[in-house]
Structure 1
């Protein structure tokens, strides 16, 4: 049996009783970083006085997940196994989805536990999301690909939730200002942690508010939907005609079509 276990995104008290029980009794731990997982389990053990079963740890992250699964002996799932992200819910801007697909393909039992998730926390805390919204995780780092993604975000008929790094949060607000300086944006930094900070204002006012602030930490961003419901979106044909590297083009096409970036890239370079 395999359990996907969400872990606290900052506050240890957010772990569920069920997650503690599953972590304690598991024999096999799949995780992004074995050092992070071992440290977290030790912290939980001390805080909740857990009787932790001896475990074998395997590092399964975004760079090796497919290869790891290809070579795995499925008999390992006869034992009690868990998959843990470093923080938050597996598969949401974190590895794990290929492991879910493997379990489905092999018709093996798995469960996903409920728990901490920066995406939903941000959507609720924003006051912007009422029902529908779009989640895009991290945008491209730079260049034409990022410009196109931001334009599509600002054209969206639904609020959009993003994750952003402290190095790029000011750049993101600048990019929004270039298109729509009056767009309302919600920011939350270090959610659930001691120095959690929230901002909500127009992009132009946030640009001023963030000046000289300590930007270190994890950021989630909620951007108000476009008031112009007839906004013209960038199409697949628009992207195909761009003079940009095939790898960037493949990522953009993947966001629109949902197809594999690798498959699209291989077709582009034929």
Structure 2
């Protein structure tokens, strides 16, 4: 039997009783990082006075998962096997997807336990969505692909959830305000930890707050939905931004599709190039 076990994203107390029981009984662990999993078991052992005994741990991550699955016999899962990502729900911006797919294709019995997930905590905390939302996860790190990812997030008719590192959170919010400074956003860091911190407001307001804040920690950003009716057959702002034409021409085209002042857009485009 294969179990996908969510792990705490901050507070050890977020582990479920069922997860603890399975951590005791499973003989083999697939781990995103065996060092992190060993440290987690040690911490849980101290907190809950549990003897997990020695476990066989196998590294299973994006760099080796295909090779492992290629050589894996489905009979391997006649024993109790657990998969652990470093923190949170397996398969959500973490390894685990390919293992679940392997189990489905090979008739392997498996269960996914409910548990900690940063995206849902951030969404509920933001109060920016009553029902529909889009989970994006991590954006492209840089270049045109990153700008395109941001533009798509801003164009969604649903709230969008983005994961971001402390090194890029400020520049991400700045790029959002350059496109739509009045877009309402919510930023939260260190979910479920001692120094959990929340920021909400327009992109400009949150940017001003973040400039004065300690940015250390893992971030989740929720972007409010685009309330304007979208024509998905039309050009996106990201398409225009990619054109190899003068900034003034870009500004006029952008003004045509978003109804803003071309001079203001031109000034923002100049600023974004500095």
* Normalised-by-shorter TM-score class: 0.7 to 0.9
1:205 is aligned to 2:205: yes
**SS of the residue aligned with 1:185?**
strand
Distance 1:242 1:208 in 2: 30
Deviations, residues 11-61 of structure 1 (Å, cap 9, x unaligned): 000000000000011100000111100110111111111131431100001
Query: Alpha carbons of 1:231 and 1:200: their partners in 2 closer, same or farther (altered >3 Å)?
Result: farther
- Contact 1:158 1:224 (C-alpha < 8 Å) held by counterparts: yes
Q: Which residue of 2 aligns with 1:112?
A: 112
Query: Alpha carbons of 1:84 and 1:235: their partners in 2 closer, same or farther (altered >3 Å)?
Result: farther
Deviations, residues 183-215 of structure 1 (Å, cap 9, x unaligned): 000000000000000000000111111113210
TM-score, scaled relative to structure 1? 0.85
Distance 2:25 2:16 in 1: 15
- Contact 1:10 1:191 (C-alpha < 8 Å) held by counterparts: yes
Deviations, residues 91-127 of structure 1 (Å, cap 9, x unaligned): 0000010000100111010000010000111111111
Query: Alpha carbons of 1:230 and 1:137: their partners in 2 closer, same or farther (altered >3 Å)?
Result: same
Distance 1:166 1:40 in 2: 23
Q: Which residue of 2 aligns with 1:52?
A: 52
TM-align CA RMSD: 1.9
Q: Which residue of 1 aligns with 2:258?
A: none
Number of aligned residue pairs: 241
- Contact 1:181 1:203 (C-alpha < 8 Å) held by counterparts: yes
Q: Which residue of 2 aligns with 1:192?
A: 192
**SS of the residue aligned with 1:120?**
helix
TM-score, scaled relative to structure 2? 0.84
- Contact 1:148 1:234 (C-alpha < 8 Å) held by counterparts: no
1:66 is aligned to 2:66: yes
Distance 1:242 1:68 in 2: 43
Q: Which residue of 2 aligns with 1:156?
A: 156
Q: Unaligned stretches of 5+ in structure 1?
A: 244-270
Kindly name which structure, 1 or 2, has the bigger radius of gyration based on alpha carbons: 2
- Contact 1:166 1:216 (C-alpha < 8 Å) held by counterparts: yes
